[in-house]
Amino acid sequence: MKMTLSISHQDPRKRRNALADYVKFGEAPDFSLYPEFCDELDDDYEHCRSLAIKLVLLMSHKYGDCLVFQKGTSEQVRLEDDAFSKICRMINDPAVQVRIEAAKSISQFRSVSISYLLATLDKKDELNHSGTFVFGCEDERKDVRLASLESLCQCAKNNSKFAERCIDHIVDMFNDEIEGIRLKAIQCLQEIDNAVLREDQVEVILTVLDSPSMDIREASHRMIANVNISSPRSLRRCIESILYNLSRYPQDKLSIFSCFKSLGQNNAEFVASLVNELLAVHPYLKLPEQSLIDENYMATLILIFNAAYKNPSILSTLESHTFQHQTYIRHTLPNFMPHIEAPKSQQASAIFFVSIFERLGKMLKSDCIHRSKLSLMEMSLQDLKSFGMVEPEFRASTEFYRIVIESILIISRLLSTPGWLESSGSLKMIRRVLEQTFTLLRRYHKLSPIQRCCVQQLRVQALAIELVIFINSCNSSALDLCDDFLEEVRNLESFLSDQPFLDSIALGSLAAKMLDELSELDLPKPGTVARRLEPLFCKTPTILNQINETLTLLIDSQDVDDLQCMKTSSATFSNSLDRSDITHKFTAGLVLALTLDAMIDNITDTDDIRLKVVYPDRLAHIIVPVKSHFRLISTDSRSETSTFRLYTSLNICHTTWSEPGMVHVSIILDYRDNPATSMQIDDDDQIRSSEASQIIEISPSISLKVHPQNTRWLS
């Protein structure tokens, strides 16, 4: 009762505190307080009015279907409709904060009558809630306009009939003077499901493609890709405008390719009617082939073949050389071009892929001498490399198996070499295997449990061999190596415990013996562990057959669907920075900023992405890109990975050079625990650190010709 009395207190601070207490309580008060909260909407104090809006909204959530009398009449309406009408009226409040609160609250009504909702789009009706969104979107303050636009979008997503009527108002906001509001309007239109644009609306939204802001342009591309076009003529205008946009802003290439991919799939029937016009096909004359250097032509092919993926009848209208161009684009830009070859061709590819392993599996299980098995494994490496180059769907899996076979070959050769226990060269060989197995576990995605288990076994075996060699050939402490080995053993045991019956299927005899030996140790010190493991690796040729078991397990468990699902993280540079004919000159000690544009495929997140810059003095700088410079392009639900575009500034800085030198830039995955920002690289381009195997190169290196000079040298 005390709080109730405070609402009508003459001191505005008392009223504000009482209303704030009701808001903090979080639950709707008694129904009898609704008229008093409504009266507070006319309070002289703006803070009280703002709090009253929240309380009226809260009451509507609990008592929405109760009937109340409209003020000054004997007519009864639902409380939620009455509350909605009263809050809509507050959009014309003189206080900015009250208007913002009213705009935000409108979209939070759960089941307001559709007649009340539609009236907010029309100023002609003489009702409290008439034209609410019109007034809000025309407000002089940008915060009110933004809140109104967000609320309008939310209401449209909740009600399809309202969504049809509000598109005009959202499109009108494309002409707002504030860039943030224009961007929000684009995003709102993209979020509305099944939005169909008329020709006049299409003309309005195409104007934003000329915006100097990359964020606006890319948001426009995503929006156009997701909305529904009402006619072939509108689609033609979209295609023309976007291709002109590509000519004017070449850096938007990837965003436009992604737009055309979705645009083709969503409007396949309309694209079918435009194919001859888009490809400039003459009904009687045979015209010259268009060039694949022309990015407009590549974008057009992406549009057409994605439409053909949904409407195969398009394929019958295409010329033979167009299919050859499609194959080229599918190999170079696999994320944008669908695979639409005949099923027979796909099946033949899968059969050939499987045949490689069937031949290898039979040899490994036979009684042939070990040298013959190694020879066949080397032949399989070449087959896998060639097959991956011509079949992009299997490129990740062929590379995965190629690395596994190569690692097994290294271990087999090492264990077959006399005196391998005391040779320092053996350490270099086995650390190559550690780098490769680390890459397989971190860079490759959608591995089956057996594939992951086999790679972990291979890594445990390599760590054990490294420890044994180090104990026998070096006088330094092996404590860190032993800790790394035991940690990897624990990871393998944990993985096996999480996968029922996996140990009986995928655990090789060598790994099983190693786990048994370690389980008998009470205090696993480096020397004790090495003495336990060393006899296991000295039983030739038994150990060589046990090493091959890993590959045999992989071959026996392979599945074509799993092979196609596998993805590998990779990156490519989109802009031409590596031009040897251009020397980038800058003042020594200052920063040379170059625009870097790269596409990063198949990564789970961007936290581990780094740029590595290697200078002629073999000093490497590790640069962490700004988080906001990553732009999401697409997501693959099968492999649970995403493709990002990195559009950032590459900063190069060094002391004075007497002549130009080459700087090498690459994109890496950095999994170090305490990553340094710089490191020294030896002559073999390997980082001088035990952390070297925790850095994975995922892009080809590009070379920049730079020349830091003193000020007096610059010309």
**Secondary structure of 392-456 in HEC code, one letter for each residue:** HHHHHHHHHHHHHHHHHHHHHHHHHCCCHHHCHHHHHHHHHHHHHHHHHHHHEECCCHHHHHHHH
Instruction: Encode pLDDT of 507-546 as tens digits.
Output: 888 888 888 888 888 888 888 898 888 888 887 667 777 7
Extract the tokens encoding 131.
Answer: 């034209």
Extract the tokens encoding 177.
Answer: 């003077």
Give the pLDDT score at 97. Answer: 94
d(CA 327, CA 405): 29
Domain ranges for the chain: 1-193, 222-336, 346-567, 569-709
Instruction: Encode pLDDT of 454-506 as tens digits.
Output: 899 999 999 999 998 988 888 888 888 899 899 999 998 888 888 877 777 77
d(CA 154, CA 163): 9
Which of 145-154, 369-378, 511-520 has the least mean pLDDT? 369-378
| 272 half-sphere exposure, CB direction, 13 A CA radius | 15
Give the pLDDT score at 285. Answer: 65
Does the pLDDT value for residue 691 go beyond 70?
no
What mean pLDDT comes out for the span 197-214?
Answer: 90
Alpha-carbon torsion (425, 431, 437, 442), positive or negative: negative
464, with CB counted inside 10 A (0-12, 13-18, 19+), is buried
Give the pLDDT score at 313. Answer: 87
How confident is the prediction for the chain on average, in pLDDT? 84
pLDDT interval class at 669 (50, 70, 90): very high
Does the pLDDT value for residue 221 go beyond 90?
yes
Q: According to the 3-state scheme, what is the secondary structure of 588-657?
A: CCCCEEEEEEEEEEEECCCCCEEEEEECCCCEEEEECCCHHHEEEEEEECCCCEEEEEEEEEEEECCCCC
d(CA 518, CA 486): 9
Give the pLDDT score at 342. Answer: 42
Cα 680 to chain centroid distance, Å, stands at 31
d(CA 162, CA 278): 36
Quick check: do 1-193 and 569-709 share a fold? Answer: no
What mean pLDDT comes out for the span 550-567?
Answer: 76
CB atoms within 10 A of CB 517: 16
Does the pLDDT value for residue 395 go beyond 50?
yes
**b/e for 49-59, b at 16 or more Cβ within 10 A?**
bbbbbbbbbbb
More confident residue, 264 or 332: 264
Does the pLDDT value for residue 341 go beyond 70?
no
> Which of 180-184, 634-638, 687-691 has the highest average model confidence (pLDDT)?
180-184
In CATH, what number does 569-709 get? 2.60.40
d(CA 599, CA 251): 12
More confident residue, 568 or 377: 568
d(CA 57, CA 80): 8
DSSP state of 211: -
Q: Residue 613: what are its φ and ψ, rounded to 5°?
A: -115, 115
d(CA 492, CA 485): 11
Q: Residue 384: what are its φ and ψ, rounded to 5°?
A: -65, -40
Does the pLDDT value for residue 175 go beyond 70?
yes
**b/e for 393-428, b at 16 or more Cβ within 10 A?**
bbbbbbbbbbbbbbbbbbbbebbeeeebbebeebbe
More confident residue, 690 or 239: 239
The answer to whether 496 and 453 have CB atoms below 8 angstroms apart is yes
What mean pLDDT comes out for the span 430-438?
Answer: 91
> What class does CATH assign to 1-193?
mainly alpha
pLDDT interval class at 692 (50, 70, 90): low
Q: Which residue has the tokens 């170059």?
A: 594
Give the pLDDT score at 684. Answer: 47
Which of 360-374, 406-420, 692-706 has the least mean pLDDT? 360-374
d(CA 77, CA 16): 29
Does the pLDDT value for residue 575 go beyond 60?
yes
d(CA 64, CA 55): 13
d(CA 264, CA 242): 13
Using DSSP's 3-state secondary structure scheme, residue 51 falls into: helix
Q: Using alpha carbons only, what angle is made at residue 201 by residues 198 and 206, rounded to the nearest 5 degrees?
A: 125
The answer to whether 618 and 677 have CB atoms below 8 angstroms apart is no
User: CB under 8 Å to 237, separation ≥6 — which residues?
Assistant: 199, 202, 203, 206
**b/e for 666-697, b at 16 or more Cβ within 10 A?**
bbbbbebeeeeeebebeeeeebeeebbbbbbb
d(CA 715, CA 711): 9
Pairing mode, strands 702-709 and 661-670: antiparallel
More confident residue, 427 or 282: 427
Instruction: Encode pLDDT of 274-307 as tens digits.
Output: 988 888 876 666 777 788 888 999 999 999 999 9
d(CA 106, CA 101): 9
Q: Using alpha carbons only, what angle is made at residue 374 by residues 379 and 371, rounded to the nearest 5 degrees?
A: 130
Give the pLDDT score at 3. Answer: 55
Peptide bond into 212 cis (omega under 30): no
Helix-strand-coil split of the chain, %, nearest 5: 60, 15, 25
Which of 5-14, 269-278, 583-592, 651-660 has the least mean pLDDT? 5-14
Instruction: Encode pLDDT of 443-456 as tens digits.
Output: 998 888 888 888 99
Instruction: Encode pLDDT of 91-109 as tens digits.
Output: 999 999 999 999 999 999 9
With a pLDDT cut of 90, the percent of the chain lying above it is 28
Does the pLDDT value for residue 551 go beyond 90?
no
Give the pLDDT score at 653. Answer: 86
Give the pLDDT score at 298. Answer: 92
d(CA 477, CA 483): 12
pLDDT interval class at 678 (50, 70, 90): low
From residue 684, alpha-carbon distances to 251, 666, 687 in Å are 35, 16, 9
Give the pLDDT score at 1. Answer: 43
pLDDT interval class at 714 (50, 70, 90): low
Q: Residue 237: what are its φ and ψ, rounded to 5°?
A: -65, -40
